[in-house]
Amino acid sequence: MSDFVVTNARICDGSGSAWYRGGVRVRDGVIAEVGRNVAPCGGVTEVDAGDGMLAPGFIDIHSHADFVLPLHPEGENLLLQGVTTIVMGQCGISPAPIVPERVLQLDEYAGVTRSGRKLKWDWQSFGQWLSRLEELPLGINVGSFIGQGTVRLCVMGFASREPSQDELCRMRELVEQGMEEGAFGLTSGLAYPPGIYSSDAELEFVAGGLAKRRGLYLSHMRNQADRSPECVEATINVGRVNRIPVQVVHLKAREGDRPGMAAHLFGIIERARAEGIDVTVDQYPYTAASSTMRSLMPKWVHEGGVAGIVELLSDPVRRRPLHDEMAASERWQKCMEHGDGPRGIVLGQLPGTPQYTGMNLEAVAKDMGTDAVDALLEVILKNRGCDQGVYFTMTEQDVRNVMVNPLVMVGSDGGIALRGEFVHPRYCGTFPRVLGRYARDLKLFSMEEGVRRMTSLPASRLGLTRKGLLRPGMDADMVLFDPGTIADGNDYEHPTDPPVGIESVWVAGRLAAHRGRLTGERAGRVLRF
Ligand SMILES: [Zn+2]
């Protein structure tokens, strides 16, 4: 079905304009016509939308699918949400560029996104990685950023020191080269090693590799709690110094850290925009965060990578003082405070200790007959880098305070999840949740505005000039959904249950998903900036 016409739809074109009743003609994977009077002619197939809402395919500007995509390129949990494009390489971690002597460290480190050492690792440069992706039967379109952590790992391993002038220049060159080879920009993950060891000055210098092509700099900030204001300033400053666009990712603004936090942070962001700095935000629509459990450990333990942590935790003499240091640390105390104790940490998919998957840390500690910190260390040890947790740290009001701002686009911060896996529900529900819960039910904004934040807004941010709008000449990536019923069909207990109300999803004019099932079409392409 390469040529077809969708009729009787509410056209929600991605611009944020009010929907209108009409149709779309698709020819050879491209939108040929959009309007009120699009009618089938000459034997072309007609798809009656049944008064459903037709929108551009959703773009996930913040995806951690990198290490699972080669094994599951169909992207089922994404297509079922209406997502037709993802951009990976987030929070400082990308599979490329990489050098052979660092592959093992990166692979172990990426265990958090369940690499499981099944990847071939037969690439080095960023361009080679994109070429490998091109060989996959992709169900969705994919692009990628370069991870600053990966770049630092290549040049300096997990060393917790300042780079030399020579190392600085090599890191910047790797960024510049990645941009030449098709990266959309650079991401940092400053709460994780090795980005955790990078100073603001280092980041400003290395991001200079984006300046020539005006690549986008995205930052998972050093602190997403009480020190968020200075971290937002630091992110903006990378844009100011290098004259590049920047984005604060998965923004959290906890009133508990500072009354009026969201208003304060958006004040900083809007002043920077008035000054001419191109800064935007993304967010996932949930009150729980998700990250490695390792990230709750003190900064110094990460120096030897995952192998170093395993060695340290296997040695009772060194483990005891680490336990005490961690229990007394501000990071741990804050985590306990935000989540109302160890009940606020729920353990994710754990291949080494499957009996604890989905349990909260309080229950795990009780089962082990030890305290929460020790239980956490034991789980980290047994799972060798594959230690994702879910942290209940925000209030519903915190989420809404960020979401109402029109500069905020939707980014899942999830990736690929298979049915029955225990992941954060954002993997399978983010996009329908924004439209169903926040647009329709809570009326934070209109349905059209919700769609804009997952289509034309990220497309313009990424320079994807053929995506994000239903207009003639654009790629025919489209979603047909029922605005009356669309919803995330999952929750924290059943995170991979599929969404509700998504009728059809087309990638490049080919029907990829229909009524909750994939059709087997693999029309995804690799996108280059
Ligand atoms: Zn992140």
What's the mean pLDDT in 173-180? 98
* Six-digit token string for 409: 């686009």
Length of the chain: 529
Distance 413 CA to ligand 1 centre (A): 7
Residue 351: the pLDDT is 86
Distance 281 CA to ligand 1 centre (A): 13
Model confidence at 109, pLDDT cuts 50, 70, 90, reads confident
169 or 111: which leads in pLDDT: 169
Distance 340 CA to ligand 1 centre (A): 22
Taking each helix axis from N to C end, the angle separating 316-328 and 330-339, rounded to the nearest 10 degrees, works out to: 60
Residue 115: the pLDDT is 47
Distance 35 CA to ligand 1 centre (A): 40
Question: Ligand 1 (ion): which residues have CB within 5 A?
Answer: 91, 220
Q: Could you give the count of Cα atoms lying within 13 Å of 231 in the half-sphere of its Cβ? A: 23
Nearest CA-CA partner of 266 in 148, 375, 406: 406
Distance 248 CA to ligand 1 centre (A): 10
* Strand partners for 389: 291, 347
Whole-Å CA distances, 395 to 247, 442, 509: 23, 15, 40
Distance 236 CA to ligand 1 centre (A): 17
List pLDDT tens digits, range 265-312: 999 999 999 999 999 999 999 999 998 898 899 989 988 888 899 999
Whether the full predicted model's pTM is greater than 0.85, yes or no, is yes
The position carrying tokens 């003190």 is 298
Residue 347: the pLDDT is 92
Nearest CA-CA partner of 3 in 508, 376, 444: 508
Are the C-beta atoms of 319 and 440 separated by less than 8 Å?
no
Q: What are phi and psi of 147, to 5 degrees?
A: -90, 130
- The C-alpha atoms of residue 257 and residue 228 are separated, in whole angstroms, by 9
Distance 373 CA to ligand 1 centre (A): 23
Distance 287 CA to ligand 1 centre (A): 15
Residue 291: the pLDDT is 87
Model confidence at 145, pLDDT cuts 50, 70, 90, reads very high
Nearest CA-CA partner of 19 in 307, 447, 405: 447
Are the C-beta atoms of 415 and 424 separated by less than 8 Å?
no
Distance 52 CA to ligand 1 centre (A): 34
Model confidence at 118, pLDDT cuts 50, 70, 90, reads confident
DSSP letter at 326 equals H
Contacts 24+ apart (CB under 8 A), 19-26: 19/53, 19/447, 19/448, 21/51, 23/49, 24/54, 24/470, 24/476, 24/478, 26/2, 26/476, 26/478, 26/506, 26/509
Distance 190 CA to ligand 1 centre (A): 9
Distance 189 CA to ligand 1 centre (A): 6
Are the C-beta atoms of 16 and 5 separated by less than 8 Å?
no
List pLDDT tens digits, range 403-458: 999 999 999 999 999 999 999 999 999 999 999 999 999 999 999 999 999 999 99
List pLDDT tens digits, range 462-500: 999 999 999 999 999 999 999 999 999 999 999 999 999
Angle at 192 between CA 187 and CA 212, to 5 degrees: 20
Distance 91 CA to ligand 1 centre (A): 4
Distance 437 CA to ligand 1 centre (A): 23
Distance 44 CA to ligand 1 centre (A): 45
Nearest CA-CA partner of 231 in 222, 243, 244: 222
Are the C-beta atoms of 139 and 507 separated by less than 8 Å?
yes
- The C-alpha atoms of residue 464 and residue 470 are separated, in whole angstroms, by 13
Distance 250 CA to ligand 1 centre (A): 7
Whole-Å CA distances, 193 to 172, 277, 308: 18, 28, 12
Distance 354 CA to ligand 1 centre (A): 25
Distance 301 CA to ligand 1 centre (A): 20
Distance 331 CA to ligand 1 centre (A): 16
Residue 529: the pLDDT is 95
Q: Is 108 helix (H, G, I), strand (E, B) or coil?
A: helix
User: What's the mean pLDDT when you consider all of the chain?
Assistant: 95
DSSP letter at 477 equals -
Distance 224 CA to ligand 1 centre (A): 10
- The C-alpha atoms of residue 238 and residue 219 are separated, in whole angstroms, by 10
Distance 433 CA to ligand 1 centre (A): 20
Q: Collect all residues with Cβ–Cβ distance below 8 Å to 329 and sequence separation of at least 6.
A: 298
Are the C-beta atoms of 108 and 305 separated by less than 8 Å?
yes
Whether the upstream peptide bond of residue 97 has omega within 30° of 0, thus cis, is yes
Distance 146 CA to ligand 1 centre (A): 14
Distance 92 CA to ligand 1 centre (A): 8
Q: Could you give the count of Cα atoms lying within 13 Å of 101 in the half-sphere of its Cβ? A: 6
For 190, counting Cβ atoms within 10 Å of its Cβ (0-12 exposed, 13-18 middle, 19+ buried), the class is: buried
List pLDDT tens digits, range 323-346: 999 999 988 998 898 888 999 999
